[in-house]
Amino acid sequence: MTEPKLDIHLTDADLTAALRADVLRGLTADSKWLPPKWLYDARGSELFEEITNLPEYFPNRTERTLLERAVDEIAALAQAEVLVELGAGSAAKTRLLLSALSAGGPLKAYVPQDVSLSALRGAAAQAAAEFAGLSVHGVVSDFTDTLRTLPGGGRRLVAFLGGTLGNLVPTERAVFLSDLREVLNPGEQLLLGAGLVTDPDVLIPAYDDAAGITAEFNRNVLRVLNYRLRADFVPDRFAHVAIWDPDAEWIEMRLRATRDMRVDIRDLDMTVHFARGEDLRTEISAKFRPETLRAELATAGFTVTRAWTDPRARYALFLSER
């Protein structure tokens, strides 16, 4: 087996610096918020893997079923020499893509990208072990920052799966999609997985499961602040809340203070007050209407060549060309 290469664009020190900036901005705002990427330290990435196995969390299972159905056609259309996977995480679905792309196709390299070094190490090692002759080149970064420095070396298929696009608000999404379109060469393609707008009675439990794993995942961000910035959050004093916003058509995860609190963030010399009932928003997870997402892709300069949806129209895969 060839050892996987690993590019670290985000060192531990970079992460701490970025977190400081986000905490300064987000926890001094009128409505407190933090970007969702801070949910994914080693423990957070593990908890997310657990979420994908929950009965209520349908997006990953639905996406996998769609991928199983679509993957040969995707491979035939993409003719990819390099598979780039943005937000790869533990890359559980990658095996499907890698085997279809390498079966008789020109695939030479796999480039998994993720913000979590621990998740990426596992993904890279596993792919290298399973696909002999495949060159594996992991990138630790924030996916919105490193499009320009993604390794090339042949015709690329960029996979952005799991519905992670939904973590971006509309303006961020537009910038991200057009930046991505700009770095791709003619003929290179994007495979996008996106959750669709569906019944809130199905969506909300997916983000508020009976076993409380999503609640632990959500509260984990407070533990990240505790060890990275020497804060003294007591995670159990925050309740997990998942809300469907019918106007914005996104799920919001929040942490709700169960009493008045002062929290010291020592490394920022900062004290934050929470009133009982006050929310800290930790994630948005936008859901899409197929026509709207097609329009957003078109505005960014992509042409959708193929799309797949499950029978209950809860999730979709879009293959588009630069």
Which residues make up the interface to ligand AVJ (CB under 6 A)? 51, 59, 162-164, 166-167, 207, 214, 253, 283, 285
Q: Decide if 209 contacts 51 (C-beta within 8 A).
A: yes
**Positive or negative, the Cα torsion across 182, 21, 118, 219?**
negative
In whole angstroms, the minimum distance from the beta carbon of 162 to ligand AVJ comes to 4
Residue 99 or 146: the one with the smaller Cβ distance to ligand AVJ is 146
At a CB cut-off of 8 Å and minimum separation 6, what does 223 contact? 41, 43, 233, 235
Residue 4 or 59: the one with the smaller Cβ distance to ligand AVJ is 59
Largest CA distance in the chain: 62
In whole angstroms, the minimum distance from the beta carbon of 105 to ligand AVJ comes to 27
DSSP 51: H
In whole angstroms, the minimum distance from the beta carbon of 286 to ligand AVJ comes to 9
Residue 100 or 168: the one with the smaller Cβ distance to ligand AVJ is 168
Residue 102 or 218: the one with the smaller Cβ distance to ligand AVJ is 218
Residue 141 or 214: the one with the smaller Cβ distance to ligand AVJ is 214
Torsion angles phi and psi, residue 44, rounded to 5: -60, -40
In whole angstroms, the minimum distance from the beta carbon of 282 to ligand AVJ comes to 9
Residue 50 or 267: the one with the smaller Cβ distance to ligand AVJ is 50
Q: Decide if 255 contacts 219 (C-beta within 8 A).
A: yes
Residue 123 identity (one-letter amino acid): A
At a CB cut-off of 8 Å and minimum separation 6, what does 205 contact? 56
In whole angstroms, the minimum distance from the beta carbon of 40 to ligand AVJ comes to 8
In whole angstroms, the minimum distance from the beta carbon of 298 to ligand AVJ comes to 23
Closest CA to 67 of 82, 81, 83: 83
Residue 215: both structure tokens together = 């609640």
